[in-house]
Amino acid sequence: MRNDRRNFLTSAASFAVSYGVLTCLGIAPEKKSTRVILLGTKGGPRVGESGRSNPSTLILIDDVPYVIDCGYGTSRQLVTAGVPINKVRYIFITHHHSDHNLEYGALFYNAWATGLPMRVDAYGPTGLEKMTQDFFSYMKFDIDTRIEDEGRPDLRKLVFAHDFNAAGVVMQNDDVKVTSCLVRHPPIKQAYAYRFDARDRSVVISGDTTYAPSLAEFAKGADVLVHEVMYPPAIEALLKRVPNAARLREHLLASHTVPEDVGKIAAQAGVKTLVLSHFVPGDDPSITDEQWTEGVRKYFKGRIIVGKDLMEI
Ligand SMILES: [Zn+2]
Ligand SMILES: [Zn+2]
């Protein structure tokens, strides 16, 4: 608990303060070259009132930011976490629901506006390359104007999108190997989990999925599994607030994971730490941490963290 609180960054400033306090007390904060920071933990495209931002996860490997999913608010959350946007080097999209890609173009645009000095490589299921070109069309007037008027480099020559349509190795450099696994998120067929194997830690991000046994195999022995979760008792309350309740209920039950199944996946995978994120519903403050974890604990006996925005793991 203490560790979680210590790692809960409400701002870069508070991080600096807590770092200083802990250092004064002779308790040096754990230094890891691979750090995981939850940027947004609210599942779904609605902009919530609870304080949870839409989905995005940051992995920092030797201070290089790898952003997984770009829900609305990702750029702001990066700034709040103390990560300069123009340092973003790699972007990964798990699937093309808008809570995972709405700020994709805006993120590399914001990096450029902040002084993007080098290329960005983006990876995702088929459609990402076209989406990138479409974003350039959408922003053509502004991009052309700023190149001419402000002497900026051409953003279109700095962003490289890479589509893939099957599981396997997504990218590899000296610091990390990134692989993907097909998960189950109907009606979307191309929905993936990502695994980051860095020198010191292995981190798996489930993306959006219902119970997927292949994910347990994929996450085998990982240090950290960040898994989405849905709490069925609260779904009915959520559905009362929307006009498309019947269809939405059907979608949610078929394409997301209940706590008991999250516990089974984590146990089968034998991960050290399970982090719950992408909460559905993610804007119902009446659901306690205990309620989120109760079903998970029936199957998984390891460390469980109920994710919060800007928490570092
Ligand atoms: Zn989602
Ligand atoms: Zn989704």
Measured CA to CA, the distance from residue 108 to residue 56 in angstroms comes to: 14
At 19-61, the pLDDT tens digits run 333 434 444 455 559 999 999 999 999 887 778 999 999 999 9
Distance 174 CA to ligand 2 centre (A): 31
pTM (2 d.p.): 0.88
User: Which ligand has an atom closest to residue 97 CA?
Assistant: 2
Q: How far is the CA of 95 from the centre of ligand 1 (A)?
A: 8
Residue 267 Cα, ligand 2 centroid: separation in angstroms?
Answer: 24
Ligand nearest to the CA of 187: 2
* DSSP state for residue 210 in the 8-state scheme: S
Q: Which ligand is nearest to the CA of 282?
A: 1
Tell me how far the alpha carbon of residue 44 lies from the centroid of ligand 1, in angstroms. 5
205 C-alpha to ligand 1 centroid (Å)? 12
C-alpha to C-alpha distance for 52 and 145, rounded to whole angstroms = 35
Q: Among 11-25, 37-51, 161-175, 288-302, name the one with the lowest average pLDDT.
A: 11-25
Element (H, E) at 239: helix 232-239
Tell me which residue of 55, 56, 110 sits closest to 87, measured CA to CA. 110
186-204 tens-digit pLDDT: 999 999 999 999 999 999 9
Ligand 1 centre distance from Cα of residue 298 (Å): 25
